[in-house]
Amino acid sequence: MNKQTIRDIQWQGKRALVRVDFNVPLDKTGVIGDDTRIRAALPTIRYLLENGASVVLMSHLGRPKKKVVEELRLRPVAERLFELLPEATEVRKTEVTTGAAAEAAVADLKPGQVLLLENTRFDPREESNDPKMAQELAKLGDVYVNDAFGTAHRAHASTEGVAQHLPAVAGFLMEAELNALYGALNDPQRPFVTIIGGAKISDKIKVIENLLSRVNALLIGGGMANTFLLAQGYNLGDSLIEPDSVDVARSLIEKAKAANVNLMLPTDAVIADAFSADAQTQTVAVDAVSAGWRVLDIGPATVAAYSAVIKDAKTVIWNGPMGVFEMEPFAVGTRAVAQALADASAQGAVTVIGGGDSVAAVEQAGLSDKMSHISTGGGASLELLEGRELPGVVALNDK
Ligand code: ADP
Ligand code: MG
C-alpha cells in the first residue's frame, strides 16, 4: 500500500482524530445487535493509546437524514466501546459533532482517554462534504486517521474533506482492507479466479469489465446469470432477468473470449414455482426452465464445475451469492461455493470476500475464519473492484 499508516506517526502527546465505522445495528430500545464493527476498530484505537495519544472518534450511525434523531445517538456505542476497551482511562461522549462544546471536550482530553463525537450525519454538511465542516472537524485533532473502509467510497466531510487540513494516515483496518483487496486485484498469484453473483447484472457490469483484463476465470451465478443465459438464447421462464442488459451480457461474453478468460455460466439450476421458501422445487438443466418457474439457485453440476476451478485457484475474489441464500432451499449453491473457497484457503490460496450479502452468507455457513479476508465494506469493496479510486483513500498522505 502506498499510503502512510498510523505506524508512520510519532503519537506521544498528540490527539488522533479517527474516522471509524461504528454503523452497528441498533434495535428500537438502543441495544446493539452485532458489535463486529466496533471490535474491528479496536486494534487501531489500542495502538494509538499505547503510543501515548489521546483519541477522538467520529462515526455515522444509520440514516438520520441531515438532522438529530434521538434513537441514532452514539451513546450505546460509547458504552459498548468502554466495555471492549478496559485499558482506556475513560471513554467520553459528546452530544455534538463539531463546534465550541466539542472543542472544549477535546481540550480536556488526556493521553489514554477516548472521546466519541456525536453521529456525523446529524450535521447536514457531512454528506455534502462542506469545507466549513471539514475545517471544524480538523480543529479536533492533530493527525487524522481513517479506519472506516466501509465509507471510504464516499467523499464526506469526515472521510475526505477533513483529510485536506491535517496529516492524514490509514488505520490498521483500512490498511488490511486495502492490502487484501488491491493485493488480490493487482498482484494475484495465479490461477486468479473470481466468482460474481447476486441479484442484478446491472449492479456488477463495471466489476466484471474491470476483472476481465485481470482474471483467469470468471464464474457467474445468482440472479444475474439469468441475463447471461438469456443472451445465449435460453428460455428462463419467470426468472429475474434484465432485458435491458442482454446486449451487455453478450458483449461481456465476447470480451471474455477475446481476453482468453474462462467465463463460466451455470449449466443447471434449482428452480421453484414461486419466490418462496416453501415453493415446489426441481433441479433441471438450464435449457429446461418452463414458464411459471424461476431459477433461485445454481444446481449440483454447476457447483461441481465451479468448485473444481476454485480448488485449483491461488487467488479467489468472491462477490455476490449464487442463489437466494436467505431461503434455506436455495442456499445450497452459495454454501457449496463458500466451502470450496474454504478448501482453497486450506491449500494456501488467498481468498477474499467482498459484498454485504456474500459476507453474510459466508458467516451463515460458519466459514468466515477460513477465508483470508472478509471485507467490512460492501459498497466500498464493490467500487474498488470496479477499478474506481476511493476518495477517502486518495485523500490520505502518500508514503
Ligand atoms: P452482495 O451484497 O454480496 O454484493 P448482491 O446485493 O449483489 O450481493 O446480491 C444479493 C442478493 O441476490 C441476495 O438478496 C439474493 O437473494 C439475491 N439473489 C441471488 N440469486 C438470485 C436469483 N437467482 N434470483 C433472485 N435473486 C437472487
Ligand atoms: Mg447486497
Q: What is the CATH number of the domain that holds 166?
A: 3.40.50.1260
What pLDDT, on the 0 to 100 scale, is given for residue 314?
98
Residues 161 and 219 in one domain: no
Per the structure, the count of domains in the chain is 2
pTM over 0.85: yes
Taking each helix axis from N to C end, the angle separating 356-364 and 378-385, rounded to the nearest 10 degrees, works out to 120
Contact 152, 391 (CB under 8 A): yes
Residues 169 and 240 in one domain: no
Residues 232 and 347 in one domain: yes
Give the C-alpha separation, 345 to 252, whole Å: 29
What pLDDT, on the 0 to 100 scale, is given for residue 87?
86
- Residue 355 placed within a domain: yes
Measured from the alpha carbon of residue 223, the closest ligand is 1
Residues 102 and 244 in one domain: no
Q: Which of 175, 197, 220 is at the close of a domain?
A: 175
Name the residue range of residue 373's domain.
188-385
Give the C-alpha separation, 177 to 148, whole Å: 10
- Residue 182 placed within a domain: no
Which grid cell is 131? 469545507
- Residue 362 placed within a domain: yes
- Residue 393 placed within a domain: no
Identify the helix (H) or strand (E) that includes residue 283: strand 281-285
Residues 116 and 149 in one domain: yes
List, chain by chain if needed, residues with CB within 6 Å of any ligand 1 atom. 198-199, 203, 222-223, 240, 295-296, 319-321, 323-324, 326, 355-358, 378
Identify the helix (H) or strand (E) that includes residue 194: strand 192-196
- Residue 75 placed within a domain: yes
Residues 257 and 302 in one domain: yes
Query: Strand, coil or helix: what is 1?
Result: coil
Residues 119 and 235 in one domain: no
Q: Which of 175, 198, 216 is at the close of a domain?
A: 175
Residues 21 and 57 in one domain: yes
Measured from the alpha carbon of residue 357, the closest ligand is 1
Mean pLDDT by 10 residues, the chain (399 residues): 96 98 89 92 98 98 95 95 91 96 96 96 98 98 98 98 98 97 96 96 94 97 97 96 96 97 98 98 97 98 98 97 97 98 98 93 95 94 96 98
Taking each helix axis from N to C end, the angle separating 172-186 and 36-50, rounded to the nearest 10 degrees, works out to 110
Residues 6+ apart with CB under 8 A from 21: 37, 40, 41, 59, 60, 147, 148, 149, 150, 151, 376, 377
- Residue 1 placed within a domain: no
Residues 73 and 44 in one domain: yes
Residues 258 and 378 in one domain: yes
User: Rounded to the nearest whole angstrom, what is the distance from the C-alpha of residue 298 to the centroid of ligand 1?
Assistant: 12
37 is catalytic: yes
Residues 254 and 129 in one domain: no
Q: Which of 125, 140, 175 is at the close of a domain?
A: 175
Model pLDDT for residues 227-268, shown as the tens digit of each residue: 999 999 999 999 999 999 999 999 999 999 999 999 999 999
Ligand 1 pocket test: which of 203, 294, 357 has the largest number of ligand atoms within 8 Å of its C-beta? 357
DSSP code per residue over 14-71:
PEEEEE------B-TTS-BS--HHHHHHHHHHHHHHHTT-EEEEE---S--TTS--GG
User: Rounded to the nearest whole angstrom, what is the distance from the C-alpha of residue 220 to the centroid of ligand 2?
Assistant: 16
379 is catalytic: yes
Query: For ligand 1, what atom is nearest to the CA of residue 326?
Result: 16
What pLDDT, on the 0 to 100 scale, is given for residue 396?
98
CA separation, residue 19 to residues 202, 260, 302, 367 (Å): 31, 42, 43, 29
- Looking at residue 342, its amino acid is A
- Residue 226 placed within a domain: yes
- Classify the C-alpha dihedral 221-345-378-30 as positive or negative: positive
Match 495519544 to its residue by C-alpha cell: 53
- Residue 34 placed within a domain: yes
Which grid cell is 380? 466500498
Measured from the alpha carbon of residue 321, the closest ligand is 1
Residues 192 and 58 in one domain: no
The residue nearest atom 4 of ligand 1, judged by CA position, is 355
What pLDDT, on the 0 to 100 scale, is given for residue 30?
83
